[in-house]
Structure 1
Amino acid sequence: STREVDPLRILFCGSDDFSIASLRAVHHEHIARPDTIASIDVVCRPGKRTGRGLKQIREVPIKHAAQELELPVHKIDTFTGWTPPKVHDENINLIIAVSFGLFVPPRILNGAKYGGLNVHPSLLPDLRGAAPIHHALLRGDRKFGISVQTLHPKRFDHGVILAQTPYPGFDVTGSENFSAAELEANLAPIGGDMLVQTLRESLFVPPLQDLGWFQGDSSGVEFTHAPKITSGDKQVDWTTWSAEKILRYLRVLGSLW
């Protein structure tokens, strides 16, 4: 890229396997090109107590991945009162949040020279929300895509789309029989590759270009929202649901009632 960019000191906020694929991709780039990615610090939420008597602590999966990659890990449950670490007396200059779950506040974003990035497994603005993979499968989608967007200072999934799968998306062989975890496993490495390409091309450096498939005012357009799955999503309407829909929901959600 012709854009002048400081070596990146990244704060990577993640949780699950989808985010681990992005972390691994960025780490691979860091090892291959330490002049462009100087450092990576990982932020995750503390483990949750589970089991009988809440004696066991279930750690967030990305913690182990980060330790395996020998990256520093910071566990936080809120950004309030927390300041990103300095790296060799230099500030973190790029935040990357992938399926993190906590909103990255303006104070943290403004403290990073290049703001923030997010990898989202849908063709935004369609399927904004915490569970796009589940909702795509529940809807019966056969085409899928990835978006890399900036982190919006006020709202989830309202950033500038810097990179995106060309509309209407790509086919994933066998997806009609996939669970959410299986589709996630297919999409995760594609997300990691797109994120690295975004970093290589310095697409996060202003002037930002919105490359989203949907251009124009979306206020009057109904896009599907993809909120976190709740027990209400698992409730079958026996009077209206087809057998096919019931089986699809069972496959994606694991259990119904």
Structure 2
Amino acid sequence: MSTLRVIARPVNFATRWLLAYGIGRRAISTSSIREKYKVLFFGTDEFARGVLKELYLDSQTTSPVISHLELVCPPHQFVSHGKKTKLKWKADTSRLSSKYGIKTHFIPTADEGKMIRWELPMATMKGGSEPFDIGIVASFGAFLPQRIIDELPLKMLNVHPSMLPKYRGPSPIETAILNNDKSTGISIQEVHPTKFDAGKVLAQRPYDIKTGITRKQMGQEMGTEGGKLLLQVLRDLDRMRANAWEQDETQVTKTRRFGNLDARINWKTMTAHDIMRIYCAHYERYVPWSHLRVKNSLKMVKFLVMGLPEGQRHMPVRRDFLDLVPGTMSHQRKTNFVEFNCIDGGRILVTRFIVEGKQPCDGLQFNAGYIKKFKSERMLSESVNMNMPTPPFEYPEGYSRPTLEKALHMFDTPLEVKIPGFSPTPLRYSMKDELAKEQEELKKQEQAKKAKK
């Protein structure tokens, strides 16, 4: 095996590291550039936006790999309010193309997801129209048929946010967060004509996952790194393709599309960190939610902004918190959050809610409008019979209550990434200080009793 093939084909973590940070980077960067490419980019979300931005920035340099760049993405979505029409959704890549003046081609709504009737456009150049050289795909969401791939002289490459063959499919970033993975990666692969993410791999680069990072933040970071890796591949495309390797089908793991039900909180099984991972993995797509009984109706309550306690700043609101069943709500006067107990003795803090049929509210308003007004004590994992009293919480078989020491020190190590918009009010007292005072008072009472004797 030649030296180049070892660089281009990472079979273990060490060689992947060399590709990302050492020999691989030097070997690719010193290779001669084949030519400048006219690129048609297919992409939608923040990951694709990061890749697209790197390609655009390269096209503006004095020695670019990209000579011309255009975008293909889903069309804008609008919603009507009477006679007024309001923009509901716009692809992240489309927002970037508007900023930088990149020509954009929208998939017809009827054709979206299938690309059956869609025709490959020509590159709009200063001297007239010319065919594109290559297609680049990143988080596009639609399957590209063989006829489109074949129309491009250099076919198509895909930038995928995982270390293929692990996490093929539509949600590799979300799945990595939910599985509490410590690392993932970026793969540059050829677009397979019949399967998603099954093409030959040209290059890979590892990516460390920081605790507390959201799907959106992670996508932005990985998109930037993916764009840089892609440019290195394009600088030496012929050799990289010659040394590409087939994916090991025995190691394939697949991801799936998520929905609103995947964000429902199960208080019987989910720890504080489990709920936090749901929040981070589905950030700005699906909001963690639970049921709240309000008189004789069951309301869906969404946790719009939430996070974990910050060590000594947020000791438990109630001293008897370990005696409270999971889902119990606690609030301290003049604080902007509501505390929820979890099955592992942990707690989550929610600073912003939206109750079904109502406007968003903060922790103070939620406490006044629901906890105090309706005497609501806890959230429910599932619906209950409204004609009967709420059944008591049932702990899972074999449940063991955590120790006070473990529960108090559970959040001593802060998250590596700050949760956007999460800024809970510090408590006005420290439980440890309060417990110390009680111990001191008990000692004084014991000493007083001994003195009397």
User: Structure 1 residues 51 and 127 mapped into 2: Cα distance closer, same or farther (>3 Å)?
Assistant: farther
User: Quick one: distance in 2 between partners of 1:147 and 1:28?
Assistant: 21
Q: Aligned ranges for residues 90-239 of structure 1 at < 5 Å?
A: 90-165=130-205, 169-172=206-209, 175-202=210-237, 206-207=241-242, 209-210=244-245, 216=248, 218-219=249-250, 221=251, 223=253, 225-239=254-268
Instruction: For residue 94 of structure 1, report the CA deviation from its aligned partner.
Output: 0.6
User: Structure 1 residues 84 and 232 mapped into 2: Cα distance closer, same or farther (>3 Å)?
Assistant: same
8 Å CA contact 1:114–1:204 kept in 2: the answer is no
Instruction: For residue 12 of structure 1, report the CA deviation from its aligned partner.
Output: 0.5
8 Å CA contact 1:84–1:92 kept in 2: the answer is no
Counterpart of 2:68 in 1: which secondary structure? strand
Instruction: For residue 4 of structure 1, report the CA deviation from its aligned partner.
Output: 8.1
1:184 partner amino acid:
G
Instruction: For residue 133 of structure 1, report the CA deviation from its aligned partner.
Output: 0.9
Q: Aligned ranges for residues 60-79 of structure 1 at < 5 Å?
A: 60-77=91-108, 78=111, 79=115
Aligned to 2:50: 21
Counterpart of 1:145 in 2: which secondary structure? strand
8 Å CA contact 1:162–1:203 kept in 2: the answer is no
Runs of 4+ deviating beyond 6 Å:
1-4
Q: What are the Cα deviations for residues 115-145 of structure 1, in whole angstroms up to 9, with x where unaligned? A: 1111111111111111111110000011121
User: Quick one: distance in 2 between partners of 1:252 and 1:136?
Assistant: 8
User: Which one is further off, 94-103 or 178-187?
Assistant: 178-187
Instruction: For residue 205 of structure 1, report the CA deviation from its aligned partner.
Output: 6.9
Instruction: For residue 25 of structure 1, report the CA deviation from its aligned partner.
Output: 0.8
User: Structure 1 residues 82 and 207 mapped into 2: Cα distance closer, same or farther (>3 Å)?
Assistant: same
Aligned to 2:338: none
Q: Please say which structure displays the higher CA radius of gyration.
A: 2
TM-score scaled by length of structure 2: 0.50
User: Structure 1 residues 99 and 33 mapped into 2: Cα distance closer, same or farther (>3 Å)?
Assistant: farther
RMSD: 2.6
Aligned to 1:47: 76
User: Quick one: distance in 2 between partners of 1:20 and 1:235?
Assistant: 29
Counterpart of 1:226 in 2: which secondary structure? coil
User: Which one is further off, 122-131 or 199-208?
Assistant: 199-208
Highest relative contact order (Cα 8 Å, sep 6+), 1 or 2? Answer: 1
Q: What are the Cα deviations for residues 31-53 of structure 1, in whole angstroms up to 9, with x where unaligned? A: 22566422111111111123646
Structure 2 unmatched ranges of 5 or more: 1-27, 291-453
Q: What are the Cα deviations for residues 39-93 of structure 1, in whole angstroms up to 9, with x where unaligned? A: 1111111111236468223322212211222221111133333322223443212
User: Structure 1 residues 41 and 247 mapped into 2: Cα distance closer, same or farther (>3 Å)?
Assistant: closer
User: Structure 1 residues 206 and 122 mapped into 2: Cα distance closer, same or farther (>3 Å)?
Assistant: closer
2:288 partner amino acid:
S
Structure 1 unmatched ranges of 5 or more: none
User: Quick one: distance in 2 between partners of 1:240 and 1:162?
Assistant: 41
User: Which one is further off, 77-86 or 42-51?
Assistant: 77-86
